[in-house]
């Protein structure tokens, strides 16, 4: 059997249908919203990679520090023979973990991007001959059918991406993860932590303007995919901290009153001068909230690891 298998659980046109539905819904409601998953076309993924190298954007470095420090403990605590990574992208952040999980026989990266999966698998197979890679093209916020691979299994959801889900979506997602776990399996979860507002806002509104370009890229995606005529220059980038809900919101604010045609949806969208579209929520956590939400989904927090500056946490939970 080939060491690499790719399984598509999403129809080829699923992305298209989902984008249309999200844009129609999001731009015809008040206040207007767009889901963050549409940032990540090839250009958006490139901009995100650039964000992770910015001096202001600490989460990637903080998580890497924890993974480097704790990978041996994670390997010992889980004895994982299969690693399932949700939203694996380029699998870069998993490398330290893979290096330490010496008993690993199967790696199951799950992502909506086929190109990311192929690239990641090729790199890994070169480094780890003998490892079986079973890549899944799937939207992990919906049901997941996993390949039959040996346990114990470790499910990893890194980067703090869980913060992009709203509380109800988070509960639903964690309940889905719980259904993937058999006795002896574990979840490794990355969460960004609540901290000083100015540090958080700078991380989402960097001096070089990379995050602004990333935010506006969603307009370019809608132009290309749905024939819309957004001028990104008509919008300004905003990052706001919501102290009650403890999340960062990214928004795009119309600099003047304007209308945008979206031919593929037979839609004209009007923006008032100063009107804002929420494009991303990035929730920040405290240990209590992580423990409570895991427990609400039938899991128990076993380990809580932070970087030295306590900016980011990795949680290990079991069923
Ligand atoms: C990839 C979802 C973890 O929320 O910090 C970076 C995306 N948005 N800068 C985050 C993002 C703006 C990032 N995640």
- Say how many Å lie between the CA of residue 184 and the centre of ligand 1: 31
Cα–Cα dist 189/155, whole Å: 8
Q: Whose CA is nearest to atom 1 of ligand 1?
A: 161
Query: Residues lining ligand 1, CB < 6 A?
Result: 51, 59, 159-161, 163-164, 204, 211, 280, 282
Bridge partner list, 301: 317
Looking at the chain, how many residues does it have?
A: 319
Q: Which residue has the tokens 């009107």?
A: 275
Per-residue pLDDT of the chain (319 residues; tens, 9 = 90+): 577 888 887 777 777 899 999 999 999 999 999 999 999 888 998 999 999 999 999 999 999 999 999 999 999 999 999 999 998 777 778 888 998 999 999 999 998 778 778 888 888 888 888 899 999 988 888 878 899 999 999 999 999 999 999 999 999 999 999 999 999 999 999 999 999 999 999 999 999 999 999 999 999 999 999 999 999 999 999 999 999 999 999 999 999 999 999 999 999 999 999 999 999 999 999 999 999 999 999 999 999 999 999 999 999 999 9
Q: Is 209 annotated as a binding residue?
A: no
Contacting residues for 175 by C-beta, under 8 A, at least 6 apart: 297, 298
Q: Percent helix, strand and coil across the chain, each rounded to 5?
A: 40, 25, 35
- Say how many Å lie between the CA of residue 161 and the centre of ligand 1: 7
- Say how many Å lie between the CA of residue 148 and the centre of ligand 1: 32
Residue 89's nearest CA partner among 60, 118, 62 is 118
pTM value is 0.95
- Say how many Å lie between the CA of residue 31 and the centre of ligand 1: 22
- To test the pocket of ligand 1, the residue of 52, 159, 246 to mutate (highest count of ligand atoms within 8 Å of its CB) is 159
Looking only at the bridges linking them, the beta strands covering 186-192 and 106-111 are unpaired
- To test the pocket of ligand 1, the residue of 45, 111, 160 to mutate (highest count of ligand atoms within 8 Å of its CB) is 160
DSSP H or E run through 305:
strand 300-306
DSSP H or E run through 83:
strand 82-86
Q: Is 99 annotated as a binding residue?
A: no
ipTM field: 0.99
280 Cα nearest atom in ligand 1? 8
DSSP 8-state class, residue 48: H
């Amino acid at each position: 059997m080939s060491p690499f298998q790719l399984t598509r659980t999403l129809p080829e046109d699923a992305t298209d249908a989902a984008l249309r539905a999200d844009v129609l819904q999001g731009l015809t409601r008040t206040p207007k919203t767009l889901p963050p998953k549409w940032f990540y076309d090839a250009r958006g993924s490139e901009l995100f990679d650039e964000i992770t190298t910015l001096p202001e954007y600490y989460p990637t470095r903080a998580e890497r520090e924890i993974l480097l420090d704790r990978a041996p403990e994670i390997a010992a605590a889980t004895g994982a023979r299969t690693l399932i990574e949700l939203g694996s992208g380029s699998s870069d952040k998993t490398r330290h973990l893979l290096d330490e999980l010496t008993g690993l026989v199967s790696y199951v990266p799950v992502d909506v991007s086929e190109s990311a999966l192929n690239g990641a698998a090729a790199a890994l197979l070169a480094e780890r001959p003998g490892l079986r890679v079973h890549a899944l093209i799937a939207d992990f916020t919906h049901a997941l059918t996993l390949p039959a691979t040996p346990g114990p299994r470790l499910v990893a959801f890194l980067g703090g991406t869980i913060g992009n889900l709203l509380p109800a979506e988070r509960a639903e997602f964690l309940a889905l993860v719980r259904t993937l776990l058999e006795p002896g399996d574990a979840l490794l979860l990355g969460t960004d932590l609540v901290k000083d507002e100015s540090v958080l806002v700078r991380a989402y509104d960097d001096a070089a303007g990379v995050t602004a370009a990333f935010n506006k890229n969603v307009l370019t995606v809608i132009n290309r995919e749905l024939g819309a005529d957004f001028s990104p220059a008509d919008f300004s980038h905003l990052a706001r901290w919501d102290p009650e809900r403890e999340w960062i919101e990214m928004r795009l604010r119309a600099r003047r009153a304007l209308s945008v045609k979206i031919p593929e949806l037979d839609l004209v969208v009007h923006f008032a001068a100063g009107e804002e579209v929420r494009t991303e929520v990035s929730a920040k956590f405290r240990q209590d909230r992580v423990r409570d939400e895991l427990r609400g989904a039938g899991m128990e927090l076993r380990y809580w690891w932070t970087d030295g500056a306590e900016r980011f946490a990795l949680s290990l939970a079991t069923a």
